[in-house]
Amino acid sequence: MANPHGTPIWYELMTADPDAAKTFYDAVVGWKVDTGAANDDMDYRMIATANGDNTGGMLKLDEKMKEGGARPGWFFYLGVDDVDAAVEKAKAAGAGVMVPPWTIDGVGRLAMLRDPQGIPFYVMRGDSPEDSTAFDRTGMGKCNWNELTTDDQQGALTFYAEVFGWDYPEKMPMGEMGDYVFVEVAGQRIGAIMQRPKDGPPANWRFYFRSPDVDAAAAAVKQRGGTVLNGPMEVPGGDRIIVINDPEGANAGVVGPGK
């Protein structure tokens, strides 16, 4: 993958029950998650949009992962020019290494980090000759927005700018909640970074996936055991969103066209 350094290239759900997760997200987002993907080493299932494009994967949490502290949740991969160099630069900027660089034959080289505020993510240089299209501002079933809620907004802004070349050309005041700072990298706007409200949910990266009908998505969340935390509500630009927890507590967003 030749995606520019610092751009999101893949999304991954860690789940204890891939079959239940498939049923939930297929109904909520309109995906077609693989079935029967278990092998001797792991159960990893590809997440495809309705038209067959891949936007990510689902990894089953085994007992060893759970014993090591892994819990259900969403994560993303940032494409980098050189994984080992990116890890060293991230460490120098205050990041922790959760899983050191390793290579998966035919897939690429990757590592799992924790930013200085403790929020995990991956870095990766993929082997595919094709660019990833997992992030697409308007793509149906794709991630349209990456939103970081952090306990140290300024620290996060500094870290991601230094390590991944992110720029912050614009911000939107939100009163007592502070500024919603937009993120651009390689000429495209990919999301925003905000300060976590004191009484808000835990700090995390949240990813908004596009569904054709947010109201139908909200109904599906409730019907299938998830929780709608916020919305449906309109956001600048005319789209509507919901913020959800899936039945295992993994936090995500769904975005769709406005009315």
CATH code (residue 31) = 3.10.180.10
Domain that holds residue 92: 8-126
Q: What is the mean pLDDT of the chain?
A: 94
pLDDT tens, 167-210?
999 999 999 889 999 999 999 999 999 999 888 888 999 999 99
In a domain, 227, yes or no: no
In a domain, 182, yes or no: no
In a domain, 110, yes or no: yes
Closest CA to 226 of 12, 10, 11, 29: 29
Q: What's residue 63's pLDDT?
A: 85
Q: What's residue 36's pLDDT?
A: 65
pLDDT tens, 37-81?
555 567 899 999 999 999 999 999 988 888 888 899 999 999 999
Which whole number is the average pLDDT over 7-32?
A: 97
Closest CA to 29 of 43, 50, 8: 50
Give the span between the Cα atoms of 233 and 221, in whole angstroms: 15
Token couple for 22: 């498939």
Give the span between the Cα atoms of 170 and 149, in whole angstroms: 17
Q: What's residue 258's pLDDT?
A: 87
In a domain, 71, yes or no: yes
Q: What's residue 70's pLDDT?
A: 82
> What is the DSSP track for 218-252?
HHHHHHTT-EEEEEEEE-TTS-EEEEEE-TT--EE
CA angle 147, 248, 156 (to 5 degrees): 25
In a domain, 177, yes or no: no
Q: Is the pLDDT of residue 143 over 90?
A: yes
Q: What's residue 195's pLDDT?
A: 96
How many distinct structural domains can be found in the chain? Answer: 1
Q: What's residue 227's pLDDT?
A: 97
In a domain, 62, yes or no: yes
In a domain, 21, yes or no: yes
Which whole number is the average pLDDT over 154-167?
A: 98
In a domain, 120, yes or no: yes
pLDDT tens, 218-246?
999 999 999 999 989 999 989 999 999 99
Cα Rg, the chain, nearest whole Å: 17
Bridging pattern class, strands 171-173 and 108-114: unpaired
